Amino acid sequence: MPSKTTVMRWLAEHSEFRDQYASAREAQADYYADEIIEISDDGTNDWMERQNSDGTTYKVEDREVLNRSRLRVDTRKWLMARMAPKKYGDKIDVEQRTTHEVGASVSDLMRAVDGRSRSK
């Protein structure tokens, strides 16, 4: 296995390797998506038994396990958004209200953006 330094150098120097690396990272993000489903569906250790002083037992949530599962899912979602931002990144809605001519002045454009003049 090459060192991290070698991989970084190859990424900078070889476009074909860079494309293969990007493809592998997208595949890794898809793998994380599958893992998120597995983690979310696995309730095996979500509950634990406790015992009352009279010897009867009852079940309670194991908050440590639930919090660890939440952390595992959130970490994978964060990584996925960075590995494949077009597919898994946050989407930002941009509402376009008006169009402007190419010849419009900067101050006209700024007035349209925030309703006030930027000229001093």
CA 75 remoteness from chain centre: 8
Contacts of 57 (CB under 8 A, 6+ apart): 49, 50, 51
pTM over 0.75: no
Q: What is the pLDDT of residues 19-75, one digit of tens each?
A: 999 999 999 999 999 999 999 999 999 999 999 999 999 999 999 999 999 999 999
Statement: residue 110 has pLDDT above 90: no
Q: What is the pLDDT of residues 73-84, one digit of tens each?
A: 999 999 999 998
Domains and CATH numbers, the chain: 4-91 (1.10.10.60)
Contacts of 112 (CB under 8 A, 6+ apart): 98, 100
